[in-house]
Amino acid sequence: MTILVTGGAGFIGGNFVLDWLAGSDEPVVNLDKLTYAGNLETLSSLRHDARHVFVQGDIGDRSLVAALLAQHQPRAVLNFAAESHVDRSIHGPGEFIQTNVVGTFNLLEAVRAYWQDLPAGEREAFRFLHVSTDEVYGSLAPEDAAFVESSRYEPNSPYSASKAASDHLVRAWHHTYGLPVLTTNCSNNYGPFHFPEKLIPLVILNALAGKPLPIYGDGRQVRDWLYVKDHCSAIRRVLAAGKLGETYNVGGWNEKTNLEVVHTLCATLDALSPRADGQSYASQITFVQDRPGHDRRYAIDARKLESELGWKPQQTFDSGIRQTVQWYLSNQDWVQNVVSGHYRDWVAKQYGDRA
């Protein structure tokens, strides 16, 4: 028994691989392109673990995916691979279309060919789980109800539009070809091993470095925040018991404005690693010009996942943030290698012959 994980050196995928192998002896074949956000140092604890097989490659490389499927015969494919940063999608949308749309199409085709040739019992047990985002649903007004699985798709950025397209492809491959798919749409994740371009790790790093803490616009954009390890447990549950063809929203029940998030981070840092001058890190908050098309509010209604599959998050926002800040304070080597780019040298040294 084996699973194939795509994008397993990224933030969510890397946490999932670590979480999976901490609780199971079932091997993981990990396919990751190692773009700027893919970091094998996240998986350094698995360096000599025979249960983890890492392959550097692109989900859009259909022949590579087909070869991996034929060699390892996985019972499931979990697709985390994606370009995922809204700001980067605004400046360079082409890569998002190529990875999230064309890449997902090629992955689906390779998986479909593999699945159709499986013996009957294995074909019935096989699963393709596609990990997506709440951003495909668009933006909510303050008084609007939270997104449910049947909410209309109204993506507003190149990133969310590309993820919406990938969701539609997955749905179509189920309804047209019968491919046994599951889809999850999650809210904003945070936690260990987060690449420091997203809000929470950026604020932590800038605060400790004495730099400004940038907040877009008025800081009142609202997001639902989900601790990444809770997300991992939700994916495991959907993979184990989800109904074929269904979508499950995964949220943390933690709606917060960006300004609230930053103030919580500052207060946590004040307690765990106070500034030498005794001032609060909140004095470093700086408001900057808002980004184009910035969605005002996302909110996830995760009741379907709880009522049908018995899942709910274990971390509150305060407990998750405290664990996250403590992790960054305790793992400065990982942070500095990511920021400096030294981890790329490590990847070349450790995996150059196998890449």
* Catalytic residue set: 134-135, 159
Q: Which two tokens stand for residue 83?
A: 């370009």
d(CA 160, CA 172): 18
The one-letter amino acid code at 331 reads N
Handedness of CA 188, 192, 193, 199 (dihedral sign): positive
- Which of 199, 252, 222, 219 lies closest to 141, judged by CA? 222
Burial of 119 (0-12, 13-18, 19+ CB in 10 A): exposed
d(CA 66, CA 185): 26
**Contact in structure between 53 and 27 (CB atoms under 8 Å):** yes
- The tally of CA atoms less than 13 A away on the side-chain side of residue 289 is 2
Residue 271 tokens, joined: 């307690």
